[in-house]
Amino acid sequence: MKKIFSYPKSLKNVPTHYCPGCGHGIAHRLVAEIVDELGIREKVIAVAPVGCAVVAYDYWDFDCCEAAHGRAAAVATGIKRARPGNIVFTYQGDGDLAAIGTNETIHAANRGENISIVFINNAVYGMTGGQLAPTTLLGQKTATTPEGRKAGSEGFPLKISEMLARLPAVKYIERVSLHSPQEVIKAKKAIKQAFLNQVNNLGFSLVEVLSACPTYWDMPAKNALDWIRDVMSKEFPLGRIK
Amino acid sequence: MPKIVIQKDRCKGCLLCISFCPRGLISVDKSLNKRGVRPVKVDTKGECLGCALCALICPDCCIEVFK
């Protein structure tokens, strides 16, 4: 009998601090599996965000660097330019990438930096207590919008992927989801493509991953996955954007 | 026959594996694990397909699949 599915080597065998049903655990595993499959464990450098995934370096068993809040794309730019032979990627949440880090993200994309970005979109600020994020859906209740997000006062959900896709230097943008095993397989394929683009020196790649936050969506884990499928993916359509 | 092995002490009890098992072989254990949650357990008498859907969706890498 052969083991066909197990813990990837690039993921440390430690329990994570994530809540039950959190998508970060799946996304971490996918990144680790891809690093193993591409054989780039000795070359890869991750840039960790500020947010729930701030201690990603405690879970990945390869080189990681922590960035100040939102500055992961700028830090990755520096690392990649100083060490072009390394594979540099950032792993950021929506509060990190789409709020405080919008500036760094847009300019890194506009310069066509040869880095890969894994953008975890869970439509809420997880680490700080479930407040409104730029990606929060209209009508979605959060700690700071107890009656639901209203376009008149909080604006519309920010679609970073569509914005970046308009920039000429951007090579690859895809939006995937983690709401079912089938979608997890598609997500892995997309993240792998983003890494391969960098290996082949093709330029800036970003994969937006719709991920569940059962705790701050205030629902059981399975309902959270269904909510991504039925509601969130209508606002953020899945598929290749560029 | 394919089988899965669950690392009970890693399990946080999100129960996603139960939702996706096409054979309904996974259920909640009655006893608590080290984390103080009721982990999932597998019915070893049932016929596991080895499809690994449970392992793919598990956020905590609790499940190993053998085929």
> Per this entry, what is the length of chain A?
242
Structure-block tokens of residue B57: 């969706």
- The CB density around residue A182, as the number of other CB atoms within 10 Å, is 13
Closest CA to A19 of B8, B28, B53, B60: B60
Best to test chain A binding among B9, B40, B60, B65 (most A CBs inside 10 Å): B60
Are B12 and A6 within 8 A, CB to CB?
Answer: no
Are A5 and B52 within 8 A, CB to CB?
Answer: yes
Which residues, in sequence order, are bridge partners of residue B40?
B28
Check which CATH number belongs to the domain holding B60 and give it.
3.30.70.20
**Which residues of B are less than 8 Å from A229 in CB distance?**
none
- Identify which of B12, B52, B63 has the shortest CB distance to residue A20: B12
Q: Positive or negative CA dihedral for A30, A36, A39, A42?
A: positive
Are A221 and B16 within 8 A, CB to CB?
Answer: yes
Rounded distance between C-alpha atoms, residue A206 and residue A66, angstroms: 19
pLDDT at B44: 87
Are B14 and A7 within 8 A, CB to CB?
Answer: no
CB A88 within 8 A of CB A65: no
**Which residues of A are less than 8 Å from B56 in CB distance?**
5, 181, 184-185
Tell me the nearest-neighbour CA distance from B45 into chain A, angstroms: 17
Rounded distance between C-alpha atoms, residue A52 and residue A126, angstroms: 6
Q: Where are the domains of chain A?
A: 23-240
Q: pLDDT 10s per residue in chain A (242 long)?
A: 899 999 999 999 999 999 999 999 999 999 999 999 999 999 999 999 999 999 999 999 999 999 999 999 999 999 999 999 999 999 999 999 999 999 999 999 999 999 999 999 999 999 999 999 999 999 999 999 999 999 999 999 999 999 999 999 999 999 999 999 999 999 999 999 999 999 999 999 999 999 999 999 999 999 999 999 999 999 999 999 99
**How would you label A15-46 residue by residue, b for 16+ Cβ within 10 Å and e otherwise?**
bbebbbbbbbbbbbbbbbbbbbeeebbebbbb
Q: Which residues, at least 6 apart from A161, have a Cβ–Cβ distance to it below 8 Å?
A: A119, A173, A175, A206, A208, A236, A241
Profile chain B (67 residues) by mean pLDDT over runs of 10 residues: 95 98 97 96 94 98 96
Instruction: List alpha helices for chain A, DSSP H.
Output: 23-38, 72-82, 94-95, 102-110, 151-154, 160-165, 181-199, 214-217, 221-227, 233-235
Residue B66 near chain A (CB below 8 Å): yes
Best to test chain B binding among A3, A5, A17, A29 (most B CBs inside 10 Å): A5
Are B67 and A29 within 8 A, CB to CB?
Answer: no
Q: Which helix (H) or strand (E) holds A117?
A: strand A116-121
pLDDT at A219: 97
- The structural domain count of chain B equals 1
Q: Which of 3.40.50.2300, 3.40.50.970, 3.40.630.10, 3.90.550.10 would CATH assign to domain A23-240?
A: 3.40.50.970
Are B66 and A22 within 8 A, CB to CB?
Answer: no
Residue A125 CB-density burial (10 A; 0-12 exposed, 13-18 middle, 19+ buried): buried
pLDDT at A37: 98
pLDDT at A165: 98
Residue B28 near chain A (CB below 8 Å): no
Are B63 and A5 within 8 A, CB to CB?
Answer: yes
Rounded distance between C-alpha atoms, residue A172 and residue A134, angstroms: 22
Residue of chain B whose alpha carbon sits nearest to that of A21: B14
DSSP B40: E
**Which residues of B are less than 8 Å from A181 in CB distance?**
20, 52-53, 56-57
What average pLDDT does chain A have?
98
Domain that holds residue B40: 3-66
Residue labelled with tokens 């970060």: A24
Rounded distance between C-alpha atoms, residue A89 and residue A199, angstroms: 11
**Which residues of B are less than 8 Å from A185 in CB distance?**
56
Does ipTM exceed 0.90?
A: yes
